[in-house]
Structure 1
Amino acid sequence: MEKGERKNVYKVYNKIGRWFAENRYADSVEKAYLNDILLHFPQDAKILDLGCGDGKPILEYFINQGINVLGVDASEQMIELAKINFPSTRFMLKDMRELDLGEKFNAIIAWHSFFHLPADDQPNMFDIFKRHLKPSGILLFTSGTERGEVWGMNGGENLFHASLATAEYQALLQSNQFEVLRHKINDPDCGGANVWMAQYKPR
C-alpha cells in the first residue's frame, strides 16, 4: 500500500510547512559544520541553501555572519515563510532536481533535504552540485547509512526519506571529483545525522 508522497516530497511541506516551522528544533545543531564551511572562504562568499525551508536555522546562521545566501526550496509554503522571515534575502521556488541557475557558489548545503529525493534521483544530483560549485567549493549534505526507504510522521503527514549505501555515496563523490573532508555517521551532536562534507576539486 502506498504510504504517501514519494516522488515530490515538497508537496507534503506545502501542507505541513507552518507546523514544521513551529516545531523544528530551535538549536543550530549543524553549527560545527557551518563554522567549518566559513573557515574555507572569505567574507564575500556565496552560499546556496538547497531545500532551505523557512530559512531557520541554517540560512539564518549565514545571514547573521554577513554571508550572501540564496535559498532554494520546491515548497511554495516554505518559500513564503522564508520570505517573511528574511525579506531582504534572495529566495527561489525550484525543485533541486531541475536546478540550472547559471551561477556558481562557494558552498552548497542540502541539510535534511537531499534525503527526501527518491534513491533513483539522487545520483544525478552530484553533477548538478558540481555545476553550481566553484573550484574548491564545499558540499554539505545529510543521508542515510544504507540503501533503503524510511517513512516518518510529521504534522500528521507521512514524510518519505531515501538513501543510497555509504559506498555508493563515496563512489559518486569520487567520480564527480569531490574529496571527502568529513563523514560522520549518526553524529550524536547533530541528532544522529549522517553527515557528508566534501570539496569539489576538478582535475
Structure 2
Amino acid sequence: MNDPHQTTELADRIIPHYERHGRDWEADRRALRWSDKPWHDRFIAALPKGGTVLDLGCGGGDPVALNMEAGGLRVTGVDASPTLTALCRERMPDQEWIVADMRALSLGRLFDGVLAWDSFFHLKPDDQRRMFAIFADHAAPSAFLMFNTGHAASGLNLTLGAHA
C-alpha cells in the first residue's frame, strides 16, 4: 500500500470501520498468537512500578492493556470506538477508559509511558507528524514512548526510548 491517496482514504474510514467491526476484529486478535509481547514486556520493564501509561488507540485492551495491568501499571486507555472502549471497561474496570480521537487529545496530565501500538500507523502522514506534540504534551520527564508505524511514508518501524 504505497499509494498515498489510498492511505489517506483508509485513514479517513478507520474510526467508523472499528466501530462497525471492532468486536469481530477483537475476537480474531485474541485468537492469534501475540508476537509483539517481547516489545511490550520491555516497555513495562522500563517504567516505574505503579507507573502510569497513556495507551492511545487501546482497542479492546486484550492483550496489550491487560499485560500492562498485570505488570502493575495504571492504564489510561483512549480509543475513538465506544464499542472497543466498553470492552476495556468490562475487562479492567479499575483502569481509566476514554472515548476520544487521539489526534485531538489534551488531558492536561503527564504519564510515565505513552503507547500508540497498532494505532499510529492508521493515521495520515501529516496526522502522524502532529501526534508528536500530543505525545510530548502527555509525557512526564523521562517518559518512555513506544509506537509502531507502517512501512509507507515513514522511515521508522519501531521506537522505544526516553522522551527528552
TM-score by structure 2 length?
Answer: 0.87
CA distance in 1, matches of 2:27, 2:44: 28
Alpha-carbon contact 1:8-1:117 (below 8 Å) kept: no
CA distance in 2, matches of 1:26, 1:89: 25
The match for 2:42 is 36
Q: Any idea what the Cα deviations from partners look like across 1:28-84, whole Å, max 9, x if unmatched?
A: 322222222233222121011110000011100011122111111011111112212
- Shift of the 146–9 alpha-carbon distance from structure 1 to 2, 3 Å rule, reads closer
Match of 1:132 among 138, 142, 161: 138
Are 1:66 and 2:72 an aligned pair? yes
The match for 2:86 is 80
Are 1:122 and 2:128 an aligned pair? yes
RMSD: 2.0
Are 1:197 and 2:142 an aligned pair? no
Identical counterparts, % of pairs: 32
Question: Which has the higher mean CA deviation after the structures are superposed, 127-136 or 27-36?
Answer: 27-36
What does residue range 119-198 of structure 1 map to in structure 2 within 5 Å? 119-147=125-153, 165-166=154-155, 194-198=157-161
The match for 1:109 is 115
Deviation at 1:6, TM superposition (A): 3.1
Q: Which has the larger radius of gyration?
A: 1
CA distance in 1, matches of 2:73, 2:101: 23
Deviation at 1:22, TM superposition (A): 0.8
Alpha-carbon contact 2:52-2:74 (below 8 Å) kept: yes
Describe the SS at the equivalent of 2:106.
Answer: coil
CA distance in 2, matches of 1:46, 1:53: 18
- Shift of the 26–63 alpha-carbon distance from structure 1 to 2, 3 Å rule, reads farther
Q: Any idea what the Cα deviations from partners look like across 1:88-131, whole Å, max 9, x if unmatched?
A: 22100010011100101111111110111111211110011011
Describe the SS at the equivalent of 1:138.
Answer: strand
TM-score by structure 1 length?
Answer: 0.71
Alpha-carbon contact 1:5-1:12 (below 8 Å) kept: no
Deviation at 1:19, TM superposition (A): 0.4
Q: Which amino acid aligns with 1:118?
A: K
Equivalent residues, number: 158
Structure 2 gaps, min length 5: none
Which structure shows the bigger proportion of residues in strand conformation?
Answer: 1
Which structure shows the bigger proportion of residues in helix conformation?
Answer: 2
Match of 1:91 among 97, 101, 106: 97
CA distance in 2, matches of 1:41, 1:122: 24
CA distance in 1, matches of 2:27, 2:133: 34
Alpha-carbon contact 2:26-2:60 (below 8 Å) kept: yes
